Each structure stands twice: as C-alpha cells, then as structure tokens.
Amino acid sequence: MGRSAGTLVVVFVAIALLVPTATGVGFGSLGQQSVDADVVVMTADVDPDGTADWTVAYRIRLDDDNATQAFEDLQADIQTNPAAYTDRFENRMQDTAGAAENTTGREMAIENVTVSAREETFGQTYGVITYRFQWTNFAGVSGDRIEIGDALSGLFLDSETSLTVRWPADYQADSVAPQADERENASVTWRGQQTFGENEPRVVVSPGDAADGEDESNGLLVGGLLALVGIAAAAYALRRYGVLGGGKPAEPPASMVDSDESEAEPAAVTDADAGAPPAELLSNEEQVLQLLESNGGRLKQQQVAGELDWTDAKTSQVIGGLRDEDKVETFRIGRENVVTLPDTDVTGGEGDGSDGADSGGETQ
C-alpha cells in the first residue's frame, strides 16, 4: 500500500522521537511503538577507550510511486532542515545515556549527531534514514579489556530490528552473551525478536596474542622452506641421475630446453602478485576499494557483494561509509546501484556489464 508524502513525514518524525528510549539502564522497546520503518539496523563500533560510533538506520520500503514520492519529499526536508530531526533525536539519546550513566557509574555523553536520507537497494529499493552519533564511555574498559553491553542491559529487539557490535580488528572476543545470530572475526549481530536478560547483551574483548601468532607463522615459514629445499634437491637428483640414480642420465624433455626463458614470465607475475597484501589483511573498506581498482573503477553494488561474499546489508553499510568519506560515488542505473571511484568515467559502462547510455540515473 502506498504512503502519502504527509503521512510518511509524520510517521518518520514519530520514529525520530521514539528511537531508542531509556527503560532502566538501556534502550526501550522499538517494537512497542507504532512506527512505519520496515527494518531498523543499529550498529555500534567500539573503540579501545570505550567510546562507540553509533549508526541507527531506518529502512522504509519504497514499493510504489506514492511511497517513492513521499520519501523524496522527506529527503528534501531533511536536507533543508536537518536540525529539526537531529535535535529531537539527540535529546532522546541524551536521556538514554543518562539512564545508562546512572547505572554504570561512567560519565557519558552523546555527541556529533547527524542525519542523512538516501535510497538504497537491499534486494528491493528502500528509503533509508540514517542517524550517526558518538557515545562516549559507552563500554567499560578494564586494563586492556573492553567490556561492552552494560549500557544496553535488558534491551528489546522487535522482529524488524537488529543490533551489531563491532570492536577493533586486533582484538579478540573472550565472551559473548547471549549467543549471537551472526558472528565474524570482529563483530557480532543479534536479530529480533528477542529480549536481552538483565546482564545482556555482553561482549568482552581483549588484544589478540600477536606473539603466539607470529611464532606460529615463523614456524610454518621455516617448515615450508625446508620442504621446498627437500623437493628441489630431489628434483635435481632425478633430473641429473635418472629415477634409479644409475646408468645414463635422463635426457631432459624438449619442453624443458631454455627453461630459464619460459620461467621468467611466471616469476614476474609472482613478484607482481606478491606486492598486493592478502585480502584477509585488508579492512572491509580497503577490500571494496581494491576490488573497484581491479575492475576499472566501477561495479554494481550487487557485484561487490558477490565478489566479497558479503550480505547486501554489510555491502551497503561499508559502501555508505566510503561514500560519506568521499572515497567512492554511487548512482542508479534503473533499479541497480552502481559504485565508482571518484573521477571515474561513468559513461563507458566498463566493469558492471551495463550499457553506458543508461548511466543517467540519479546519484545517491
């Protein structure tokens, strides 16, 4: 069913006022309120000092022309007068942080609140309203351990809401409670509907044991080199003396004549490949940029998700962050999102399999 422009604006103002509210020491129930967001995605990126960079994204399905027009009107209003939205949201979040401060004993603050609106594709087109803010002392710090979650105790997630907690890449999770619906090397995600217990959610992380990892890597390297030396010696003996080691030496096959020349080119390729860091050492953002660079600076967002084996939500979030930092640009071709590096020629259709004549889509 379509939504009129006035209805969507009123509904979204209600969303901005309701999310997230304080009950006791954490967020209140999103699902207990009559909100018209189809999906709510909350993400906290926690720094070693306990401060968290928060993103709260509200996705509104644009399933017909009326809904699309209504969102475009709302988008224009947010761009014209963002303070009308951020002021109310910040006041509500200050109340939430105040309740958490009283319970945890840590002094907290909500800072740098921003709001943006754009259309994005997650299998279908959504209007996405995104709030970003910084929550100081969100997590507790004990020595080199980060203890995350006491500011959210008792949080309720309705069936349309998810919560993702991320921590520094050089830290490892010591404990996670309750069990997460999705877990990666440096993040966990819980999806509603669920109510966390009195001491949940909880994530405790600490620096990874780099020394052990280095020793293990060195041991593997030494073992690998010894194995290669043994293989090389055996190969030389077979070529020099024949398989049985006696009699007439075996003649080298014709394909091995002038092998120095034939091996030169693969060696060059190997040297070139060695200059690129392994994908597992790159951040999410670096992986996207590297993928774009290797594909002429331009790809469809769905291709990025497929190449990196990411979910649509993760792909959109990473690309959204890069776009906010002006490291990539996006535009629409039909119902497809296309991602490009800045200053990339978008008229040639290279890298995404699209006809360049269709590249006049709106830039998001």
Question: Average pLDDT, stretch 147-159?
Answer: 93
Report how far residue 191's alpha carbon sits from residue 157's, in angstroms, rounded to the nearest whole number: 7
Residues 269 and 335 in one domain: no
CATH number for the domain harbouring residue 313: 1.10.10.10
pTM, rounded to two decimals: 0.57
Residues 55 and 188 in one domain: yes
Residues 139 and 155 in one domain: yes
Residues 304 and 250 in one domain: no
Residues 203 and 217 in one domain: no
pLDDT in tens, 61-97: 998 899 899 899 999 999 999 999 999 999 999 999 9
Whether the pLDDT of residue 276 is over 60: the answer is no
- Amino acid in position 115: V
Mean of the per-residue pLDDT values of the chain:
76
Residue 51 belongs to domain spanning: 5-207
Whether the pLDDT of residue 349 is over 80: the answer is no
- Residue 210: predicted pLDDT: 54
Residues 302 and 342 in one domain: yes
| Residue that is last in its domain, among 189, 207, 225 | 207
Whether the pLDDT of residue 27 is over 60: the answer is no
Angle at 109 (CA atoms; ends 105, 111), nearest 5 degrees? 165
Residues 294 and 332 in one domain: yes
Report how far residue 60's alpha carbon sits from residue 135's, in angstroms, rounded to the nearest whole number: 26
| pLDDT level of residue 247 (50, 70, 90 thresholds) | very low
Domain count, the chain: 3
Cα–Cα separations (whole angstroms), residue 118 to 132, 156, 166: 14, 27, 24
Q: Please report, rounded to a whole number, the percentage of residues in the chain having pLDDT higher than 90.
A: 42
| Residue that is last in its domain, among 207, 222, 250 | 207
- Residue 209: predicted pLDDT: 73
With CA atoms as reference, report the closest residue to 16 among 81, 102, 99, 103. 81
- Amino acid in position 225: L
Residues 82 and 231 in one domain: no
pLDDT in tens, 188-238: 999 999 999 988 999 999 998 754 444 455 555 555 555 555 665 555 555
